[in-house]
């Protein structure tokens, strides 16, 4: 099996490789990928493959290759406050990354065909909310998942700013997918063996861009009931936040601003990124992107445009030798400043834990 980029030793190194290969091109997308460890969405016995640029499938559980998710996230052009619909939401990995960008006033819905995958996604979402420090670094738009066939969405459902379909869309369903979009919205889906970006520029106007050659398993056609009628999928209603919840969001936002101001006055440049381990440099070379899934080619892409220059290789080897002589320094454990600040407030403990979403350390 082959991947678009070199395997990483951990999530950060995988993201470094995706950036170097130009799959991740914007800061927002990079932050979302770094905030959620891909290995957390694997079953324990398969985690050694989590940082390879390969798709993974076990029963009904499926994760696309990181290079595919990178292209999807970049193409969606996500912004805070938008509404997002994930068709074939699977493990919830993509939906959770999207939620970090949408923020607390976005809408984040997913439709999944298999009930066991819905349960798996809810478990992974609960684990992320309870245990990840990334939850406190971002304002999160929690995904809501419903079970059903995405080709049977109720015709009276709301339209969305952003839509992604994680299965191959047949040409006859293209118009159905387009109608899920608001004017100005973006739809990303595999269409006729190409990952395709469609922008709705008007009520009946569209712009289409082919991104990447891919081969996805096709959408499963609906099975009608004995009466012959379609069983419509009802999407979650757009929730109206309570005054109590809005107050929590505002208080957490104010505390984050205070933490940032204190850091600026202390360091002059805000919170610094935690230093990472020194790693062996990845030498650029021409390569074809080939990802396999269930004995079929999953994706292909034009080779890396970087030139394979022998002089650069020699310089790269010299730098590698110099780095070998440097001791590896382990980064300090990350500090959750928001949690520290909330726990130090002169408030009753129940209110403190409410502000922390009752999260475990």
> Quick one: pLDDT at residue 343?
94
> Quick one: pLDDT at residue 153?
95
**Do both 149 and 230 map to the same domain?**
yes
Spatial CA neighbour of 279 closest among 31, 9, 25: 9
Establish if 22 belongs to a structural domain.
Answer: no
- Cβ pair 148, 111 in contact under 8 A: yes
B/e letters for 118-145, b = 16+ CB within 10 Å, e = fewer, are bebbeebbeebbeebebbbbbbbbbbbb
- pLDDT tens, position by position, 8-48: 799 999 999 999 999 999 999 999 999 999 999 999 999 99
Q: Count other Cβ atoms within 10 Å, centred on residue 352.
A: 15
Segment 287-314 mean pLDDT = 49
Higher confidence at residue 290 or residue 133? 133
**Do both 149 and 109 map to the same domain?**
yes
Establish if 52 belongs to a structural domain.
Answer: no
Residue 90 has which token pair? 């699977």
Segment 154-165 mean pLDDT = 95
**Do both 221 and 105 map to the same domain?**
yes
Distances (CA, A) of 299 to 3, 64, 68, 105, 290: 9, 10, 8, 34, 6
- Out of 122-126, 130-134, 337-341, give the one with best mean pLDDT: 122-126
> Quick one: pLDDT at residue 267?
77
Establish if 102 belongs to a structural domain.
Answer: yes
- Dihedral sign from CA coordinates of 314, 320, 324, 327: positive
- Cβ pair 168, 219 in contact under 8 A: yes
Host domain of residue 172: 66-239
- pLDDT tens, position by position, 194-209: 999 999 999 999 999 9
**Do both 141 and 253 map to the same domain?**
no
In what helix (H) or strand (E) does residue 253 lie, and over which residues does it extend? helix 243-267
- pLDDT tens, position by position, 37-83: 999 999 999 999 999 999 999 999 999 999 999 999 999 999 999 99
**Do both 144 and 180 map to the same domain?**
yes
Distances (CA, A) of 229 to 155, 222, 226: 14, 11, 8
> Quick one: pLDDT at residue 289?
47
Establish if 110 belongs to a structural domain.
Answer: yes
- Ranges 60-64, 177-181, 277-281, 321-325: which has the least confidence: 277-281
> Quick one: pLDDT at residue 282?
47
Higher confidence at residue 240 or residue 14? 14
> Quick one: pLDDT at residue 307?
46
**Do both 248 and 173 map to the same domain?**
no
Establish if 292 belongs to a structural domain.
Answer: no
**Do both 115 and 130 map to the same domain?**
yes
Establish if 39 belongs to a structural domain.
Answer: no
**Do both 121 and 251 map to the same domain?**
no
Angle, helices 93-102 vs 115-131, to 10°: value is 50
> Quick one: pLDDT at residue 269?
57
Secondary-structure breakdown of the chain: helix, strand, coil percentages, each rounded to the nearest 5: 40, 20, 40
Q: Count other Cβ atoms within 10 Å, centred on residue 287.
A: 17
**Do both 163 and 220 map to the same domain?**
yes
**Active-site positions?**
64
Residue 322 has which token pair? 């110099």
> Quick one: pLDDT at residue 288?
46
Mean confidence (pLDDT) of the chain: 86
pTM: 0.82
> Quick one: pLDDT at residue 295?
44
CATH number at residue 173: 3.40.50.150
**Do both 116 and 235 map to the same domain?**
yes
SS3 label, residue 115: helix
Establish if 40 belongs to a structural domain.
Answer: no
The set of long-range contacts for 283-288, using a CB threshold of 8 Å and a minimum separation of 24, is 283/313, 283/316, 284/20, 284/308, 284/312, 287/4, 288/2
> Quick one: pLDDT at residue 349?
93
> Quick one: pLDDT at residue 326?
57
DSSP state of 320: H
**Do both 218 and 85 map to the same domain?**
yes
**Do both 252 and 171 map to the same domain?**
no
Domain count, the chain: 2
Single out the residue in 209, 239, 269 at which a domain terminates.
Answer: 239
Q: Indicate the pairing of strand 205-214 with strand 194-202.
A: antiparallel
Establish if 183 belongs to a structural domain.
Answer: yes
């Amino acid at each position: 099996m082959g991947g678009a980029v070199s395997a990483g030793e951990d999530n950060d190194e995988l993201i470094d490789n995706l950036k170097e290969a130009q799959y991740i091109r914007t800061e927002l997308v990079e932050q979302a990928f770094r905030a959620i460890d891909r290995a957390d969405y694997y079953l324990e016995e398969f985690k050694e493959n989590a940082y390879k640029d390969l798709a993974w499938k076990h029963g009904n559980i499926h994760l696309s290759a990181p290079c595919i998710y990178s292209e999807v996230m970049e193409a969606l052009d996500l912004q805070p406050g938008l509404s997002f619909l994930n068709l074939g939401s699977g493990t919830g990995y993509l939906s959770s990354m999207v939620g970090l960008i949408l923020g607390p006033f976005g809408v984040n819905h997913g439709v999944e065909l298999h009930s066991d995958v819905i349960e798996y996604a809810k478990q992974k979402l609960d684990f992320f909310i309870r245990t990840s420090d990334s939850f406190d670094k971002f304002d999160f738009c929690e995904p809501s998942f419903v079970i059903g066939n995405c080709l049977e969405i109720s015709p009276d459902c709301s339209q969305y700013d952003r839509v992604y379909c994680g299965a191959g869309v047949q040409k006859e369903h293209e118009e159905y997918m387009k109608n899920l979009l608001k004017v100005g919205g973006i739809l990303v889906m595999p269409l006729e063996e190409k990952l395709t970006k469609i922008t709705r520029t008007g009520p009946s106007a569209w712009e289409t861009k082919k991104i990447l050659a891919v081969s996805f398993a096709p959408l499963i056609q609906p099975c009608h009931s004995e009466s012959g009628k379609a069983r419509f999928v009802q999407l979650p209603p757009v929730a109206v936040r309570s005054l109590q919840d809005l107050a929590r969001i505002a208080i957490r936002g104010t505390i984050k601003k205070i933490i940032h101001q204190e850091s600026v006055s202390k360091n002059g440049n805000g919170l610094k990124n935690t230093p990472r381990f020194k790693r062996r440099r990845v030498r650029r070379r021409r390569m074809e992107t080939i990802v396999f899934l269930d004995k079929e080619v999953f994706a292909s892409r034009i080779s890396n445009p970087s030139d394979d220059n022998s002089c650069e290789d020699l310089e790269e080897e010299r730098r590698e030798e110099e780095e070998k002589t440097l001791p590896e320094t382990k980064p300090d454990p990350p500090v959750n400043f928001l949690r520290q600040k909330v726990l130090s407030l002169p408030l009753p403990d129940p209110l403190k834990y409410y502000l922390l979403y009752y999260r475990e350390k």
